[in-house]
Structure 1
Amino acid sequence: MHLARKAYKELCSFAVSIQAGMRGMVARDELRFRRQTKAVIIVQSHCRKYLACLHYTKLKKATITTQCAWRGKVARRELKKLKMAARETGALQAAKNKLEKQVEELTWRLQLEKRMRVWIMRITLSNLSHESCAQWWINLLLKMRNSRPWLVL
């Protein structure tokens, strides 16, 4: 009787040890799965962020290019009108001054658009926050307005 009880207790002890080991293994697997899931979510969110920034940068660049082309077309049209008006009225000097001013403004706008392209690339490369980018842009516009009061922004 004593040997049977001892064998039974030993068997129960082994069963409890095996069950505890299995429960621990299941818990570790569950924890590993949760950590992997969390890591995957972080990687996916960073990937989506990068793709969104890339799309925004391409869209911004396309917008600037289109605006530059349109402004050039409008400026050429205006220049043509001014040349014809100068020929008709004989006020060549006034038209020349106005054209020079427009050329200066267009040159300045072109420089501004080039700066904007560089700025967009810097944003892409340095991953600045939208708030700091907006603040930089506001400061640039204020500097432009102060340095060239005749320019309409």
Structure 2
Amino acid sequence: MTDLVTARLLLHPMSIDEAEKLVANEPDDSVRWAPEYPTEGDVSAAGRFLRTYGSTGDPSPFGPYQICLRADRRTIGGVDFHGPPDEHGSVTIGYGLVPSARGKGYASEALRALLSFARSQGVASVKGDADHDNTASQHVMTAAGMRPAGEDERVKYFAVTWSP
């Protein structure tokens, strides 16, 4: 699979080898990691990808993507599908950036690209959530085109749905 390209970013689909190295915290010589990468969220996404691959096979293109700066190909975070579309054509997403990359619009840019890609793959809806106090993440989803879809005692839910 090829990278998804935005104005400032490359969303690189993670391979099994890359996921294994990320979980082991062993950077690949061909990949430049930002100093704070990987975050706990990146390791969690890579682990989920490896478990999915082991139990049901390769979920591509609905797996994790590393967020890299186009300028120097440094990996600054990740954005991922938590699995392939369900029986209703819905997927759940997650994303995160290293602290030094936050506040520059990278997360919204990456999420917009992932949403556009999901729609091009026939996905009917995309869901996400953020803790009540994580207003930055809530803003990212809103800026990318997702809308509030409810809340519970822990999180606020967001979604975007497309007509067939």
Q: Which structure shows the bigger proportion of residues in strand conformation?
A: 2
Q: Which structure shows the bigger proportion of residues in helix conformation?
A: 1
Q: Which has the larger radius of gyration?
A: 1
Whether TM-score is above 0.5 comes out as no
Higher RCO (C-alpha under 8 Å, 6+ residues apart)? 1
Tell me the TM-score normalised to structure 2 length: 0.26
Tell me the TM-score normalised to structure 1 length: 0.27
